[in-house]
């Protein structure tokens, strides 16, 4: 780490006239009165990674502010000009509910316009998927959304997109990073925006986006029969409030119930510990509202409305949370079943899932004779594959275990707006058949197998933690276990080496995916363990997947206990608990 003297020198540079008064005052206060805060703010530069920026807001080189954001935007601008020339360039910008998001978005718009770009800036907060749509619709070369997803309130972030509406991938990711790193001074940032270059987007774009969302509907007749199904929806103070209720109404749902306290746009997220639909607390108020009103379905979206959490009633009439795998399974099954029921197949359809997402999705695709693809974690890889297949094959749906799903091709990132509408339609369809969504899930398990997944995160902070995580990966890679929980390891996928090892056949094959520090162990009993360091947080993630035959819905609880024990035994055998 830098010495305190070097850190003070870096901080002193932020007292110059190139920085605004509020920033200078904040830095001066740290220098005079708070050395720890000063160190945290300046000990490193906030890294522009393959997904953009994300960090705590405040003054400093290691903080999210208009200067670190400005350097990123100027670097991105320089790269776009190198790739596309310096005339006729268009970019789109959206932002979420977080503190300073509008300010950061307007700053970004000013920098792009100062570089001569035509800028499409949303008039107020909008979901990330609508930004992806706007990039494609307005034929932009790039785009940016200001969001830190589900991070705590003190964070904000900046995600960069390319002309297909997907987050940047190779070779553009490395190219942009190189250009951002070349910006050494705030004096290189062109803050002097050209207002005549900035076009404000509003209702017209919303209507175009919602029209595409409506095209994802597969069975409007089912909705007509069950239009009064009770749906509680919460945006958790975020952007979903702008598009999800209108989408549900457009689909024909008439009993949409809000959680008024969480409809209030607020970057402090006052009603939840975390605005993350993966967390039970985030859906607590919505479930309470559903119990009070007799609703049948609960849905929540994260602050930028690209991920979806669902709660449904179990056989005892109690609300339970579905995980991302289960939601993905239901949506994939529903899409494939409706395509078949309505004779919509042309024979070139396919679905996508990530390598750590439930293999049950693969089984369902095989059952419907539909092609499927596995990609690395991250929806930028969905977008990349969709782009490669454009004009040859038709993407119709897919998702990841971390609560992201995308139906259709008009957006190239996770889309919780269309996913909410489609999940509600699946619930209406199930009800028209005399079933709940939970009962539908059990039917899928009976037909294709009961798959149970669990994720554990091992957090290791600081340099020592990073070294420990690296050592764990090296140990798994160089000394892989022969057995786990008394079941033989029969295959190992090493995505760093891009090799799949078939232990039984003593053979190797190439993995045709980008290099990534991920390992997977496949066991003789059908279990799968995936290990990967997080790309955004100081932790290593371990994904466990086990499965068994489900004889009948009545055997669900008994079979689930068996699978839970198997996961617990695997974790214990691997000395992780």
Looking at domain 63-201, its CATH architecture is 3-Layer(aba) Sandwich (3.40)
DSSP state of 281: G
Reply yes or no on whether the pLDDT at 459 is more than 90. no
Reply yes or no on whether the pLDDT at 460 is more than 70. yes
Beta strands per DSSP E along 123-164: 142-146, 155-162
Spatial separation of the C-alpha atoms in residues 312 and 300, rounded to whole Å: 12
Is 77 in the active site?
no
Write down the CATH number for the domain with range 212-448: 3.40.120.10
Segment 440-462 shows an average pLDDT of: 94
Pair 421, 248: CB distance under 8 Å = yes
pLDDT mean across residues, the chain: 96
Catalytic hit among 101, 149, 337, 402: 149
CA angle, corner 93, sides to 88 and 98, nearest 5?
A: 165
pLDDT at residue 269 in the model: 98
Q: Per the structure block, which two tokens stand in for 368?
A: 């419907």
pLDDT tens digit sequence for 225-260: 999 999 999 999 999 999 999 999 999 999 999 999
Give every CB contact of residue 228 below 8 A, 6+ residues apart in sequence. 254, 255
Spatial separation of the C-alpha atoms in residues 358 and 367, rounded to whole Å: 15
pLDDT at residue 539 in the model: 87
Least confident of 22-36, 40-54, 264-278: 40-54
pLDDT at residue 538 in the model: 75
**Distance from the Cα of residue 339 to its chain's centroid:** 26
pLDDT at residue 537 in the model: 67
For residue 377, give Cα distances in angstroms to 353, 381, 382, 383: 9, 7, 9, 12
pLDDT at residue 535 in the model: 67
Helix (H) / strand (E) containing 522: strand 519-523
For residue 450, give Cα distances in angstroms to 303, 326, 435, 552: 32, 11, 19, 10
Pair 493, 500: CB distance under 8 Å = yes
Task: Give the CA count within 13 Å in the CB-facing half-sphere of 559.
Answer: 18
Reply yes or no on whether the pLDDT at 536 is more than 70. no
pLDDT at residue 1 in the model: 67
pLDDT tens digit sequence for 463-483: 777 788 889 999 999 999 999
Q: Per the structure block, which two tokens stand in for 97?
A: 């509910």
User: Which ranges of 266-376 would DSSP assign to H, the alpha helix?
Assistant: 284-293, 324-341, 360-367
pLDDT tens digit sequence for 67-117: 999 999 999 999 999 999 989 999 999 999 999 999 999 999 999 999 999
Domain boundaries, the chain: 63-201, 212-448, 450-573
Q: Do domains 63-201 and 212-448 have the same CATH topology?
A: yes
Q: Per the structure block, which two tokens stand in for 184?
A: 């050494």
pLDDT tens digit sequence for 357-387: 999 999 999 999 999 999 999 999 999 999 9
Phi, psi of 8 (to 5 degrees): -65, -35
Residues β-bridged to residue 397: 351
What size, in residues, is the chain? 577
Give every CB contact of residue 69 below 8 A, 6+ residues apart in sequence. 53, 104, 107, 108, 158
pLDDT at residue 312 in the model: 98
The strand pair at 487-494 and 519-523 is best described as antiparallel
Spatial separation of the C-alpha atoms in residues 556 and 442, rounded to whole Å: 7
Residue that is written with structure tokens 């000013």 in the block: 110
Residue 539 or residue 338, greater confidence:
338
CATH class belonging to 450-573: alpha beta
């Amino acid at each position: 780490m830098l010495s305190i003297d070097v850190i003070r020198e870096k901080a002193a540079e932020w007292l110059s006239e190139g920085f605004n008064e509020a920033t200078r005052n904040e830095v001066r206060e740290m220098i005079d009165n708070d050395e720890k805060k000063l160190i945290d703010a300046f000990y490193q530069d906030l890294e522009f990674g393959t997904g953009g920026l994300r960090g705590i807001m405040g003054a400093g080189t290691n903080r999210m502010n208009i200067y670190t954001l400005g350097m990123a935007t100027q670097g991105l601008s320089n790269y776009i000009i190198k790739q596309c020339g310096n005339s006729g360039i268009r970019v789109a910008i959206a932002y979420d509910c977080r503190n300073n998001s509008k300010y950061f978005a307007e700053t970004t718009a000013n920098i792009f316009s100062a570089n001569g770009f035509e800028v499409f800036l949303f008039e107020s907060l909008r979901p990330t998927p609508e930004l992806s749509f706007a990039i494609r619709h307005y034929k932009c070369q790039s785009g940016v959304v200001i969001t830190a997803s589900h991070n705590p309130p003190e964070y904000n972030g900046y995600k960069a997109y390319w002309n297909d509406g997907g987050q940047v991938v190779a070779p553009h990711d490395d190219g942009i990073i190189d250009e951002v790193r070349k910006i050494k001074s705030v004096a290189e940032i062109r803050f002097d925006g050209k207002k005549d270059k900035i076009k404000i987007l509003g209702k017209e774009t919303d209507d175009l986006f919602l029209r595409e969302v409506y095209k994802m509907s597969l069975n409007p007749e089912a909705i007509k029969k069950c239009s009064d199904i009770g749906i509680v929806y919460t945006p958790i103070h975020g952007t979903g409030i702008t598009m999800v209720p209108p989408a549900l109404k457009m689909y024909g749902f008439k009993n949409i119930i809000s959680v008024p306290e969480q409809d209030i746009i607020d970057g402090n997220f006052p009603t939840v510990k975390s605005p993350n639909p993966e967390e039970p607390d985030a859906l607590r108020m919505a479930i309470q509202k559903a119990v009070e009103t007799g609703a049948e379905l609960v849905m929540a979206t994260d602050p930028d409305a690209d991920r979806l959490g669902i709660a449904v009633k179990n056989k005892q009439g109690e609300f339970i949370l579905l995980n991302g795998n289960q939601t993905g399974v239901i949506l994939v099954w529903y899409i494939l079943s409706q395509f078949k029921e309505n004779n919509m197949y042309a024979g070139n359809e396919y679905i996508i899932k990530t390598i750590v997402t439930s293999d049950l999705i693969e089984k369902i695709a095989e059952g419907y004779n539909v092609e499927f693809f596995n990609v690395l974690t991250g929806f930028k890889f969905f977008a990349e594959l969709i782009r490669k297949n454009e004009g040859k094959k038709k993407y119709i749906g897919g998702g990841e275990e971390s609560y992201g799903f995308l139906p259709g091709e008009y957006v190239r990132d996770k889309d919780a707006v269309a996913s909410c509408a489609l999940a509600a339609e699946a619930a209406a369809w199930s009800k028209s058949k005399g079933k709940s969504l939970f009962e539908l899930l059990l039917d899928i398990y009976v037909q294709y197998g009961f798959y149970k997944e669990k994720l554990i995160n091992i957090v290791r902070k600081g340099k020592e933690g990073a070294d420990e995580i690296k050592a764990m990966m090296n140990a798994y890679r160089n000394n892989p276990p022969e057995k786990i929980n008394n079941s033989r390891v029969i295959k190992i996928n090493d995505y760093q080496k891009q090799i799949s090892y078939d232990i039984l056949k003593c053979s190797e094959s190439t993995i045709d995916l980008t290099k990534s520090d991920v390992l997977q162990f496949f066991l003789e009993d059908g279990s799968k363990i995936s290990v990967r360091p997080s790309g955004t947080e100081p932790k290593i993630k371990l994904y466990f997947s086990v499965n068994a035959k489900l004889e009948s819905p009545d055997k669900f609880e008994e079979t689930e206990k068996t699978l839970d024990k198997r996961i617990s035994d695997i974790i214990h055998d691997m000395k992780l608990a």
